[in-house]
């Protein structure tokens, strides 16, 4: 074998050995430590309803009924198997059309004037799976949800507050409402008033 | 600034104004909070400021040590490496290229054979063009992703293929910068050390321990690490959803720490399972910046003059802080005038979390994204491009950032030498015609790949159709793609479709030559420095430390970028920013 052939053979053996360490042992160690230290998070921060796993609190869930809070629009229809953004450019007519369509839809659903709808209700998130909405969008949906669920507006307000993540330490993120945990809490409140 | 006002009081937003209601921001939900952005920058400065010297010291000791760990000796024996061999720069380069070519071939075959290999989650053979592009992409530390991971790759390829290259391609970058520094330090030799030893130490002693700690932090914030991903849940809302899973945290941490950027999921760090909240977001930006900002400290120690390191660090830091502030401004200033800030952004990070991430990822060779860059306001998207066009030196990729800045330092030394009329010297090594030839070619490589690739693509209608957006935005998508590929960044204006044979091949070539031509030139430069004897400093020597040199170096960086890319930027993001 000449020098080049020997180099390539060395490279191949080196790659296989490091793959065992970095591709097998390392993720296995992280898996083990993760299950030990923070199993709930490592397994997907699952919410449960009546003791049954009902999706992840970190992921948006598709809503059809009147009795739930809607998450932000999604370019992938909240399909957790194919996360994606719309990737529409800021001045593309298609984006303006999508925003107008969303605006009309939300206005009809919430029975409000189109001009009062917050931006996050009109725009698709980066992942298509963002469960968080602005506090303003949650407030916009509150009357409808209160009506449809028969829970009083004050109860729903209380649940919104309980599922609002404020900016951590005042500078990380922005106040937002987790629709997935909020909807789970709504369901809980209806079954066990 | 005041999102608490709109959100906290429960105001439903202000009425839309203007001719086209969608063109107005009707709510402050995504408004930039300048205070929050400044505070996050301050937190990063404190954390990185506390760590860069200890880590730099550790890095210098690691690459200077003569001792081998037991596991390393076993690795050398099994691979047939002689760890005592001191390699001529050509042998160092040949080893590096052999390793990279073998890695590309193995990763390519791994994807082609996925259907018959274990841990494939039922996914079959990857399309050969996509597999080729992906193999080159991950071995060159680019992590351009022309595939949707969820529907293309099982746990096996992700964990045993991609994540392993995330470690090794970053370790290659470290090896190259260490070899360049040895070239400056050593005298009258052509040997630069041992590639295999440097590669091993970078991966096992530097990247691996930090990754284990970082992965645990990420898991605690909510990043998943499991062997599931197949359970169909009946959701709270009654719908059905398959909750994804996999060895995510172990790959996520090295994706950022190694400035790789390839997401486990298609949405990358915008996906809640990769980046669950604003805290994980800040930690991920910290991981991106940690090693690149610590390398100047390693450099200062290895050349025996800490001031050298501090000077380069100050240039890197100045560009990073200014660029982050500009990104925040570009997001905020144009949100209400022509674009809809919110599209492609995640509510939990807000505009400031996006500005922080988008800047760090494009000023390094990372290319991970926590928002859809394609939907950013035109000037913000343009700024992301400018960050990459600066050559990713502020602080740049793992290893590649510092060797890029050192090459530009040679240019600055040369220009400074011309101004004072003396033979330019860099740390006691003459910068003559031979060195300047290598440097000149280095500077031309990336712009040539970017501009040629963009020009060819937009000139051929069949290729240009890959970026269907009309007007300057379509041009921006192509320009961004080649800028990202040739600079080994990997982020994208996602509207472009690059999985077809022609574009997959052109981008793979841009990634390959954008990685290995500069590396070959850097190692040749290191060899030519190593051969020289050291010239003692005199009163007339231009100092490569201190504010004067920092300003000179910063000016060189800006002038080279501006002159090269301004026309292309004018046609793309600048034109788009002027459209209303």
pLDDT of the residue at B456: 97
Which residue reads 């990063």 in tokens? B44
User: Averaged over B446-457, what is the pLDDT?
Assistant: 97
A2 Cβ partners below 8 Å, 6+ apart?
none
Q: How far apart are the C-alpha atoms of A134 and A136, rounded to whole Å? A: 5
CA atoms in the 13 A half-sphere facing the CB of B416? 25
Q: What residue in B sits closest to A140 (Cα-Cα)?
A: B12
Across A108-128, average pLDDT: 93
Question: From the list A14, A118, A124, which residue is nearest B29 (CB)?
Answer: A118
Q: Assign B12 a pLDDT band (cuts: 50, 70, 90).
A: very low
Nearest chain B residue (CA) to A68: B237
pLDDT higher than 70, residue B4 = no
Q: What pLDDT digit, counting tens, does each position of B356-368 carry?
A: 999 999 999 999 9
Q: How many CB atoms lie within 10 A of CB B65?
A: 12
Q: What is the pLDDT of residue A193?
A: 65
- Is the pLDDT at B247 greater than 90? The verdict is yes
Mutate to test the interface with B, among A27, A29, A187 (most CBs of B within 10 A): A27
Nearest to B36 among A9, A114, A171 (CB): A171
Residue B7 has pLDDT above 90, yes or no: no
Asked if the Cβ–Cβ distance from A127 to B267 is below 8 Å, we say yes
Is residue B318 over pLDDT 50?
A: yes
Q: Which residue of A has its CA nearest to B106?
A: A12
Cβ <8 Å between B272 and A175: no
Are A58 and B20 within 8 A, CB to CB?
no
**Tokens matching residue B113:** 């054979």
pLDDT-derived band at B340 (thresholds 50, 70, 90) equals low
Which positions in chain A touch B103 (Cβ < 8 Å)? 11, 15
In contact, B295 and B341? CB cutoff 8 Å: no
CA–CA distance, B421 with A12 (Å, rounded to integer): 51
**Min distance B432 CA to chain A CA atoms (Å):** 32
Sheet holding A176-178, edge to edge: A132-134, A176-178, A164-165
- Cα–Cα distance, A163 to A178 (Å, whole number): 6
Q: What are phi and psi of B144, to 5 degrees?
A: -65, 135
Q: Which pLDDT belongs to residue B335?
A: 59
Indicate the helix (H) or strand (E) that contains B490.
Answer: none
Which whole number is the average pLDDT over A10-20? 98
Position B321 pLDDT exceeds 60: yes
> Which of the listed ranges A168-172, B437-441, B470-474 does the model predict with the highest average pLDDT?
B437-441
**Residue of chain A nearest B13, judged by CA positions:** A116
pLDDT score of A169: 81
Helices B278-302 and B248-257, packing angle to 10 deg: 40
Query: What Rg do the C-alpha atoms of chain B give, in angstroms?
Result: 23
Q: What is the mean pLDDT of residues A1-10?
A: 86
CB atoms within 10 A of CB B451: 18
pLDDT band per the 50, 70, 90 thresholds, residue A94: very high
Q: How confident is the model at residue B455 (pLDDT cuts 50, 70, 90)?
A: very high
pLDDT at B418 over 90: no
pLDDT, mean of residues A115-125: 91
B164/A131 Cβ within 8 A: no
Shortest distance, CA B393 to any CA of chain A (angstroms): 27
The predicted model gives A106-112 an average pLDDT of 96
Residues of A in contact with B346 (CB under 8 A): 125-127, 130, 132
For residue B461, what are the domain limits?
400-578
Cα A2 off chain centre by: 56
Q: How far is CA A29 from the centre of its chain?
A: 28
- To 10 degrees, the CA torsion angle through A118, A119, A121, A127? -150
Q: List, as one string, the DSSP characters of A24-66.
A: IIHHHHHHHHHHHH-HHHHTT-EEEETTEEEEETTS-----ST
**Structure confidence at residue B239 (pLDDT):** 94
Which chain A residues are closer than 8 Å to B167 by Cβ? Answer: 18, 22
Among A38, A54, A165, whose Cβ lies nearest the Cβ of B234?
A54
Does residue B464 lie within any of the structural domains? yes
Beta carbons of A168 and B353 less than 8 Å apart: no
Please indicate, yes or no, if residue B489 is contained in any of the structural domains: yes
**Nearest C-alpha of chain A: how many angstroms from B547?**
33
Share of chain B above pLDDT 70, in %: 93
> Which distant-in-sequence residues (6+ apart) come within 8 Å of B476 by Cβ?
A89, B378, B381, B382, B385, B469, B493, B572, B573, B576
DSSP state for residue B536 in the 8-state scheme: P
Question: Which of A46-50, B20-24, B204-208 bottoms out in mean pLDDT, i.e. has the lowest?
Answer: B20-24
Please check whether residue B86 lies inside any domain of the structure.
Answer: no
Average pLDDT over residues A121-126: 94
**Partner residue facing A115 (CB), from B15, B101, B273:** B15
**Per-residue pLDDT band at B31 (split at 50, 70, 90):** low
Say yes or no for a CB contact (<8 Å) between A119 and B30. yes
**Predicted local distance difference test score (pLDDT) of residue B351:** 87
> B342-371 burial, b for 16+ CB within 10 Å, e for fewer?
bbbbbbbbbbbbbbbbbbbbbbbbbbbbbb
Output the pLDDT for position B580: 54
CA distance A141 to chain B (A): 10
Q: What is the mean predicted confidence (pLDDT) over B11-35?
A: 46
CA distance B61 to chain A (A): 22
Chain mean pLDDT for chain B: 92
Domain boundaries, chain A: 3-39, 46-191
Q: Which residue has the higher pLDDT, A115 or B92?
A: B92
Quick one: A157 exposed, middle or buried, by C-beta within 10 A (0-12, 13-18, 19+)? Answer: middle
- Per the CB < 8 Å rule, is A86 touching B375? yes
pLDDT bin (cut points 50, 70, 90) of residue B15 is: very low
Report the 3 state secondary structure along B191-202: ECCCHHHHHHHH
Does residue B355 fall inside a structural domain? no
Q: Answer yes or no: is pLDDT of B18 > 50.
A: no
Mean pLDDT value of segment B210-217? 98
Q: Å from A38 to nearest chain B CA?
A: 6
Are the C-beta atoms of residues B429 and B184 closer than 8 Å to each other? yes
Nearest Cα neighbor of B281 from B176, B185, B190, B351 is B351
Kindly list the residues from chain A whose CB atom is less than 8 angstroms away from the CB atom of residue B21. 100, 103, 114-115
For residue B578, pLDDT beyond 80: yes
Q: How confident is the model at residue B20 (pLDDT cuts 50, 70, 90)?
A: very low
Of B227, B231, B339, the CB nearest to A91: B339
CB-CB neighbors (< 8 A) of A39 in chain B? none
Whether residue B16 is predicted with pLDDT greater than 90 in this model: the reply is no
- Chain A residues with CB under 8 Å of B579 CB are 91
For range B204-233, the mean pLDDT: 96
Mind listing the pLDDT tens digit for each residue in A143-161?
999 999 999 999 999 999 9
Provide the terminal-to-terminal Cα distance of chain B, rounded to the nearest Å.
24
Is residue A168 very low, low, confident or very high in pLDDT (cuts 50, 70, 90)?
A: confident
Tell me if A10 and B21 make a contact (CB, 8 A cut-off).
Answer: no
* CB-based contact B192:B530 (threshold 8 Å): yes
- Smallest CA–CA distance from A42 into chain B, residue: B224
Tell me whether residues B265 and A83 touch, CB distance under 8 A.
yes
Please say whether the beta carbons of B381 and B330 come within 8 A: no
pLDDT at res. B17:
33
Using CA atoms, how far apart are residues B406 and B410, in angstroms rounded to an integer? Answer: 6
Contact B12 A116 (CB under 8 A): yes
The reply to whether B554 falls in a domain is yes
DSSP codes joined into one string, chain A: --HHHHHHHHHHHHHHHHHIIIIIIHHHHHHHHHHHH-HHHHTT-EEEETTEEEEETTS-----STTS------TTTT-TTS-------TT-HHHHHHHHHHHHHHHHHHT--GGG--GGGTS--SSS---EEEHHHHHHHHHHHHHHH---HHHHHHHHHHTEEPPBTTTBS--EEEHHHHHHHHHHHHH--
Residue B520 lies in a domain: yes
- Backbone φ and ψ for B471, nearest 5 degrees, come out as 70, -150
CA distance to partner chain B, nearest, from residue A65 (Å) = 8
CB-CB neighbors (< 8 A) of A137 in chain B: 29
Q: Strand, helix or coil at B215?
A: helix
Residue B368, H or E segment = none
- Which of B3, B35, B214, B343 has the most A C-beta neighbours within 10 Å, making it the best mutation to test the interface with A? B343
All residues of chain A having their beta carbon less than 8 Å from the beta carbon of residue B215 are 30, 34
**Total count of domains within chain B:** 1
- Give contacts of B273 with chain A, Cβ < 8 Å: 44, 56, 58-59
- According to the model, what pLDDT value does residue B30 have? 56
| Dihedral sign, Cα of residue B334, residue B336, residue B340, residue B344 | positive
**Residue scoring higher pLDDT (B5 or A2):** A2
| A34 with B208: Cβ contact below 8 A | no
CA of A139 vs chain B CAs: smallest distance (Å): 6
Instruction: Give A-chain residues touching B40 at CB under 8 angstroms.
Output: 171-172
A124-138 burial, b for 16+ CB within 10 Å, e for fewer? Answer: bbbbbbbbbbbbbbb
User: Cβ separation of A41 and B220 shorter than 8 Å?
Assistant: yes
Least confident of A64-73, A89-98, B16-25, B146-155: B16-25
């Amino acid at each position: 074998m000449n020098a080049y052939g020997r180099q390539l053979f060395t490279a191949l053996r080196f790659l296989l050995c490091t793959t065992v360490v970095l591709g097998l042992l390392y993720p296995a160690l992280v898996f083990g430590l993760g299950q030990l230290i923070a199993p709930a998070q490592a397994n997907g921060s699952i919410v449960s309803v009546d003791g049954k796993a009902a999706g992840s609190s970190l992921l948006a869930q598709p809503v059809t009924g009147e009795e739930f809070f809607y998450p932000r629009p999604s370019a992938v229809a909240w399909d957790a198997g194919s996360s994606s953004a719309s990737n529409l450019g800021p001045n593309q007519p298609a984006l303006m059309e999508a925003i107008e369509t969303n605006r009309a839809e939300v206005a009809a659903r919430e029975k409000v004037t189109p001009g009062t709808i917050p931006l996050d209700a009109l725009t698709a998130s980066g992942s298509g799976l963002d469960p968080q909405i602005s506090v303003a969008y949650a407030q916009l949906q509150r009357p409808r949800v209160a009506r449809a669920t028969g829970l009083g507006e004050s109860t729903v307000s209380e649940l919104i507050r309980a599922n609002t993540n404020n900016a951590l330490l005042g500078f990380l993120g922005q106040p937002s409402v987790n629709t997935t945990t909020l909807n789970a809490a709504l369901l809980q409140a209806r079954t066990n008033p | 600034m005041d999102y608490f006002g709109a959100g906290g009081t429960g105001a439903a937003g202000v009425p839309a104004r203007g001719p086209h209601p969608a063109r107005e921001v009707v709510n402050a939900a995504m408004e930039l909070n300048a205070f929050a952005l400044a505070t996050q920058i301050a937190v990063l400065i404190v954390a990185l400021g506390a760590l860069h010297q200890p880590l730099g010291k550790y890095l210098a000791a690691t690459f200077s040590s003569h001792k081998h760990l037991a596991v390393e000796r076993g690795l050398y024996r099994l691979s047939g490496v002689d760890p005592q061999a001191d390699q001529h720069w050509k042998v160092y380069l040949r080893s590096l290229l052999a390793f990279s070519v073998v890695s590309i071939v193995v990763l390519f075959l791994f994807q082609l054979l996925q259907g018959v290999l274990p841990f494939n989650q039922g996914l079959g053979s990857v399309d050969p063009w996509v597999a080729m592009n992906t193999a080159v992409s991950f071995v060159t530390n680019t992590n351009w992703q022309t595939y949707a991971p969820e529907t293309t790759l099982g746990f096996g390829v992700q964990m045993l293929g991609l994540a392993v290259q995330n470690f090794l391609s970053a370790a290659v970058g470290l090896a190259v910068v260490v070899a360049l520094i040895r070239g400056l330090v050593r005298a009258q030799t052509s040997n630069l050390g041992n590639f295999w030893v440097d590669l091993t130490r970078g991966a096992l002693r530097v990247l691996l321990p930090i990754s284990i700690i970082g992965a645990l932090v990420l898991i605690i914030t909510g990043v998943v690490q499991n062997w599931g991903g197949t359970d169909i849940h009946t959701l709270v809302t009654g719908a059905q959803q398959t909750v994804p899973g996999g060895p995510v945290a172990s790959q996520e941490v090295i994706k950022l720490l190694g400035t790789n950027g390839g997401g486990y999921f298609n949405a990358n760090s915008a996906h809640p399972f990769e980046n669950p909240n604003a805290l994980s977001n800040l930690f991920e930006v910290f991981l991106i910046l940690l090693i690149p900002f610590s390398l100047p400290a390693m450099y200062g120690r290895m050349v025996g003059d800490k001031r050298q390191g501090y000077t380069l660090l100050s240039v890197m830091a100045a560009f990073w802080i200014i660029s982050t502030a500009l990104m925040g401004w570009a997001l905020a200033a144009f949100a209400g005038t022509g674009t809809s800030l919110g599209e492609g952004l995640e509510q939990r990070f807000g505009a400031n979390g996006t500005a922080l991430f988008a800047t760090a990822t494009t000023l390094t060779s990372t290319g991970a994204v926590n928002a859809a860059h394609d939907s950013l306001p035109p000037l913000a998207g343009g700024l992301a491009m400018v960050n990459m066009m600066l050559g990713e030196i502020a602080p740049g990729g793992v290893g590649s950032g510092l060797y890029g800045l050192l090459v530009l330092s040679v240019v600055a030394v040369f220009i400074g030498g011309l101004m004072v009329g003396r033979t330019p010297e860099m740390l006691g090594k003459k910068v003559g015609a031979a060195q300047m030839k290598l440097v000149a070619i280095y500077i031309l490589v990336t712009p040539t790949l970017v501009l040629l690739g963009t020009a060819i693509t937009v000139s051929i209608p069949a290729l240009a159709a890959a970026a269907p957006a009309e007007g300057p935005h379509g041009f921006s998508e192509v320009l961004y793609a080649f800028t990202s590929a040739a600079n080994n960044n990997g982020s994208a204006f996602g509207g472009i479709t690059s999985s077809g044979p022609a574009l997959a091949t052109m981008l793979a070539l841009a990634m390959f030559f954008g990685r290995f031509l500069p590396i070959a030139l850097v190692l040749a430069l290191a060899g030519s420095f190593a051969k020289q004897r050291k010239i003692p400093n005199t009163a007339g020597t231009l100092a490569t430390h201190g504010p004067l040199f920092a300003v000179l170096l910063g000016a060189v960086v800006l002038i080279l970028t501006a002159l090269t890319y301004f026309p292309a930027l004018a046609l793309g993001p600048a034109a788009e920013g002027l459209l209303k």
